[in-house]
């Protein structure tokens, strides 16, 4: 029961990122919102590791580990989340959650390509079905100002970036604790994002209102800290079963978007979500059976 509750909490928190981002960008340019989120999450995680816990396992990274953390942080935070917050300016929140759930499909495809392994037919089929689902759910929204083709393109490129980050992460034999890895990668990624934020953002447009404060706190503490702690816990228990909770993210995501942002749920939405979940199942079926 404990694992089920943690899995549900993870799915609910992870799916809420799109809606929280949509609220946040109403009060601040996307990259400024991103930098605020990253630095708060980094301070909380690193502060806990080095000043509150003081456990000996929370040590300073070595020279080679700094390089690994920098690469991972650049891919996972600077590129992925930087593009993600920009994309959410031009994409419906529900589509953002739906696209995030395709990460396992892209990870399988990219890992086979990087490792020189020929992708299985089921893996290719799962990608095609999953992407078709996103296209179907997105189609009616392209007629409104909430979603644009450029926004969806940036969103999917961000999914490719986080998939590369996940493959890179899996190839490294990490000896640092997960909390420390996440703390440093989000902090370093935020530092790398600063030049882009300075060039691309209008700081005079920032409204320091309650909407911005609540959005930043939710994204940094609930999603980046609590959500990832739940995810790492699930991965430690069972990697395959942990991936099953990603199936719920699109459902929670569309529910939040409908409930909080009045985004419509149409037959296109239902059919597209069904295709993405089906693609996820096909992509994970062999692992589940094993």
In the chain, domain spans: 2-289
Q: Binning pLDDT at 50, 70 and 90, where does residue 287 land?
A: low
- pLDDT value at position 286? 62
Question: Mean pLDDT across the stretch 136-163?
Answer: 86
Task: Please determine, for residue 145, whether its predicted confidence score (pLDDT) is greater than 70.
Answer: no
Task: Please determine, for residue 112, whether its predicted confidence score (pLDDT) is greater than 90.
Answer: no
- pLDDT value at position 89? 93
End-to-end C-alpha distance for the chain, whole angstroms: 23
Q: Which long-range contacts (CB under 8 A, 24 or more apart) does 116-122 make?
A: 120/286, 122/282, 122/283, 122/285, 122/286
- pLDDT value at position 111? 74
26: helix, strand or coil: coil
CB contact at 8 A, 124 and 283: no
Lowest-pLDDT range, 29-43, 98-112, 157-171, 247-261? 98-112
Question: What gap in Å lies between CA 160 and CA 163, rounded to an integer?
Answer: 5
How far CA 65 is from CA of 59, 161, 163, 194, in Å, comes to 11, 21, 20, 22
- pLDDT value at position 203? 95
Please calculate the CA angle 181-236-53 and round it to the nearest 5 degrees. 50
Task: Please determine, for residue 104, whether its predicted confidence score (pLDDT) is greater than 70.
Answer: yes
Name the pTM for this structure. Answer: 0.88
Q: Binning pLDDT at 50, 70 and 90, where does residue 240 land?
A: low
Tell me the per-residue pLDDT of 260-271, one tens digit each, with 9 for 90 and over. 999 888 899 899
- pLDDT value at position 131? 85
Question: What gap in Å lies between CA 183 and CA 40, rounded to an integer?
Answer: 10
CB contact at 8 A, 112 and 118: yes
């Amino acid at each position: 029961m404990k694992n089920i509750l943690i899995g549900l909490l993870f799915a609910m928190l992870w799916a809420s990122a799109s809606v929280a981002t949509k609220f946040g960008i109403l009060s601040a340019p996307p990259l400024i919102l991103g930098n605020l989120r990253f630095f708060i999450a980094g301070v909380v995680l690193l502060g806990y590791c080095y000043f509150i816990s003081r456990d000996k396992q929370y040590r300073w990274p070595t020279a080679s580990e700094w390089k690994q953390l920098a690469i991972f942080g650049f891919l996972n935070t600077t590129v992925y989340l930087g593009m993600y917050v920009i994309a959410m300016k031009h994409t419906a929140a529900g589509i953002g959650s739906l696209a995030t759930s395709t990460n396992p499909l892209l990870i399988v495809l990219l890992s086979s390509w990087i490792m020189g392994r020929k992708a299985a037919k089921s893996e290719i089929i799962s990608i095609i079905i999953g992407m078709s689902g996103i296209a179907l759910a997105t189609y009616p929204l392209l007629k409104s100002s909430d979603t644009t083709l450029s926004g969806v393109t940036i969103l999917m490129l961000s999914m490719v970036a986080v998939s590369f980050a996940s493959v890179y992460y899996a190839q490294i034999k990490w000896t640092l604790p997960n909390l420390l890895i996440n703390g440093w990668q989000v902090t370093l990624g935020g530092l790398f994002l600063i030049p882009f934020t300075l060039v691309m953002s209008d700081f005079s447009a920032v409204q320091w209102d309650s909407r911005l404060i609540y959005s930043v706190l939710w994204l940094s503490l609930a999603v980046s800290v609590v959500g990832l702690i739940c995810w790492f816990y699930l991965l430690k228990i069972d990697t395959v079963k942990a991936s099953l909770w990603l199936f719920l993210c699109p459902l929670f995501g569309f529910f939040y978007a409908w409930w909080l942002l009045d985004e419509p749920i149409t037959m296109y939405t239902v059919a597209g979500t069904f295709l993405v979940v089906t693609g996820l199942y096909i992509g994970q079926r062999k692992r589940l059976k094993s």
